[in-house]
């Protein structure tokens, strides 16, 4: 019977050749890349897969860089520090436009706040410094459009982290500033720039603890009291869009009333801060990622402290306006997709704040 064993192992007196094991790298490459002998359909499938894989990899790199890339504040901790011991002014030559932005302007020796001179020397686009200490402390730049500083830092180095910047339509001179200074800043997971503003939406106590914003221009200091915190959309297909960024100047009382009523109608809270035509407004804007991708904006609106008043508010008198009223409607004004997504389509219950806080508003509403 040994012959049978031999026949099982050999064929015609020769050992059977085993199939050579394919190299793993070659096997992987032939499975992913177009390969000799592939059918046309296989080639197309592999190309589509590779294009999709490349797009995914590029997207991941962009996202990681946006959220986790190096920040100026981290790489140079002293960069944003302001020397508070410098309390005076110093005269420097500056190219100054007319207050209305007309004319080519000219270079003049102008007195500026000494503590901000280093920022101006670093970047002549410097227009101010915004502070909600210790959460937000940054220089503010301004270019000829609202795109450049979305993708460049304060030192003009390209980065998707951008920097905080003022709306390009606002004019800053030694004797004037916009009626409504709108500042934009990215909401970064690293908590840089305007990310801390999210705390105003989420935490009533945060507003109580931080109801004041400082915004100094190169030429003078400014203190502002928050009167509204609201969420809005930039997408028309979501419903009504409040284009707050178009209100840089109030040419009429009506424009001023329209702006502040929209802010207050939409506000998460009421702070009791009074307003009147002629007040200077500060508006901080950042992306909000709580829903609907990147089309939401979180906005903080504040009124500049007047010369005849103190920079103080009463947080204990603040009113929380979040949630639903007793009839099942939203207490604050939002937009269609928000109502549908969160409240089965039931919308806003109507204005419920004290309109007498805005001087002359009741008469304006009656006349309209």
Query: Rg of the Cα trace of the chain?
Result: 30
Q: What's residue 89's pLDDT? A: 92
Q: What 3-state DSSP class applies to 120? A: helix
* Ranges in the chain, pLDDT < 70: 1-33, 36, 42-44, 46, 48, 50, 55, 57-79, 99-105, 293-294
pLDDT at 61: 55
DSSP per-residue codes, 198-261: HHHHH-HHHHHH--EEEEEESS---EEEEEEEEEEES-GGGS----GGG-S---SHHHHHHHHH
Q: Are 160 and 66 in contact (CB under 8 A)?
A: yes
Residue 45's pLDDT is 75
Cα–Cα distance between 58 and 46 in angstroms, integer? Answer: 18
Q: How far apart are CA 217 and CA 260, in angstroms?
A: 23
Provide DSSP, 158-184: B-TT---EE-TT---BTTB--SEEEEE
State the number of CA atoms in the 13 A half-sphere of 364 facing the CB.
Answer: 17
> What's the pLDDT at 192?
84
- pLDDT tens digits along 19-41: 555 565 656 656 666 776 777 77
- Per-residue confidence (pLDDT) for residue 338, from 0 to 100: 92
Question: How far is it between the farthest Cα atoms of the chain?
Answer: 117
Give helix then strand counts, H and E, for the chain. Answer: 10, 14
Pairing of strands 281-288, 180-184: parallel
Distance CA 199, CA 197 (A): 5
Token pair 């419920």: residue: 352
Give me the pLDDT at residue 10, please. 43
DSSP 355: G
d(CA 10, CA 4): 10
Give the 3-state secondary structure of residue 284: strand
Per domain, the residue ranges of the chain are 126-367
Residue pair 255/247 in contact by the 8 Å Cβ criterion: yes
Give 269: exposed, middle or buried? Use CB within 10 Å, 0-12, 13-18, 19+. Answer: buried
From the CB of residue 96, how many other CB atoms can be counted at a distance below 10 Å?
Answer: 17
Alpha helix ranges (H) inside the chain: 2-9, 24-32, 40-68, 72-75, 117-122, 198-202, 204-209, 253-265, 336-343, 361-367
Q: pLDDT, tens digit, for every residue of 126-163?
A: 999 999 999 999 999 999 999 999 999 999 999 989 99
- pLDDT at position 75: 40
Mean pLDDT, rounded, of the chain: 85
Instruction: State the residue for tokens 């009421």.
Output: 270
Unique residue bearing structure tokens 């590029």? 58
- 9, two tokens: 């192992």
Dist. CA 252–CA 227, nearest whole Å? 21
Question: pTM for this one?
Answer: 0.79
pLDDT score recorded for residue 1: 44
With beta carbons less than 8 A apart as the criterion, state whether 275 and 359 touch: yes
What does the pLDDT read at residue 194?
A: 94
> In this structure, are residues 51 and 172 in contact, taking their beta carbons and an 8 Å threshold?
no
**Which pair of structure tokens corresponds to residue 348?**
């806003």
Query: What is residue 89's three-state secondary structure?
Result: strand
Q: How far is it, in rounded angstroms, from Cα 149 to Cα 351?
A: 37
* Overall fold of domain 126-367: Sortase; Chain: A; (2.40.260)
CA distances to 141, 182, 288 from 152, rounded to whole Å, are 10, 18, 21
């Amino acid at each position: 019977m040994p012959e049978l064993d031999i026949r099982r192992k050999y064929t015609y007196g020769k050992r059977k050749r085993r199939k050579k094991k394919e190299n793993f790298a070659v096997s992987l490459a032939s499975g992913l890349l177009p390969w000799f002998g592939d059918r046309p359909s296989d080639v197309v499938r592999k190309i589509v897969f590779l294009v999709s894989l490349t797009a995914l990899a590029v997207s991941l790199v962009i996202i990681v860089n946006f959220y986790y890339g190096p920040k100026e504040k981290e790489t140079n901790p002293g960069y944003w520090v302001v020397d508070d011991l410098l309390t005076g002014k110093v005269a420097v030559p500056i190219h100054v436009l007319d207050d209305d932005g007309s004319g080519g302007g000219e270079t003049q020796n102008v007195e500026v706040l000494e503590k901000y001179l280093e920022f101006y020397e670093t970047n002549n686009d410097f227009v101010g410094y915004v502070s909600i200490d210790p959460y937000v402390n940054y220089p503010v730049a301004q270019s000829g459009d609202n795109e450049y500083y979305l993708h460049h830092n304060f030192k003009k180095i390209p980065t998707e982290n951008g920097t905080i910047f003022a709306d390009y339509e606002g004019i800053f001179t030694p004797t004037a500033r916009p009626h409504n200074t709108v500042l934009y800043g990215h909401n970064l997971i690293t908590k840089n720039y305007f990310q801390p503003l999210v705390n105003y939406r989420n935490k009533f106590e945060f507003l109580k603890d931080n109801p004041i914003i400082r915004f100094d221009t190169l030429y003078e200091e400014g203190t502002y009291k928050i009167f509204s915190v609201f969420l809005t959309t930039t997408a028309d297909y979501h419903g009504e869009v409040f284009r707050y960024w178009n209100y840089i100047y109030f040419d009429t009382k009506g424009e001023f009333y329209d702006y502040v009523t929209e802010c207050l109608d939409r506000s998460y809270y009421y702070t009791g801060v009074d307003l009147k035509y002629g007040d200077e407004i500060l508006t901080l804007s950042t992306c909000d990622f709580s829903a609907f991708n990147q089309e939401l904006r979180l906005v903080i609106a504040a009124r500049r402290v007047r010369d005849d008043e103190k920079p103080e508010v009463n947080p204990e008198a603040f009113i929380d306006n979040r949630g639903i009223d007793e009839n099942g409607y939203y207490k604050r004004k939002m937009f269609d997709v928000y109502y549908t997504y969160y409240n089965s389509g039931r919308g806003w219950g109507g204005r419920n704040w004290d309109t007498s806080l805005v001087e002359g508003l009741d008469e304006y509403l009656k006349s309209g």
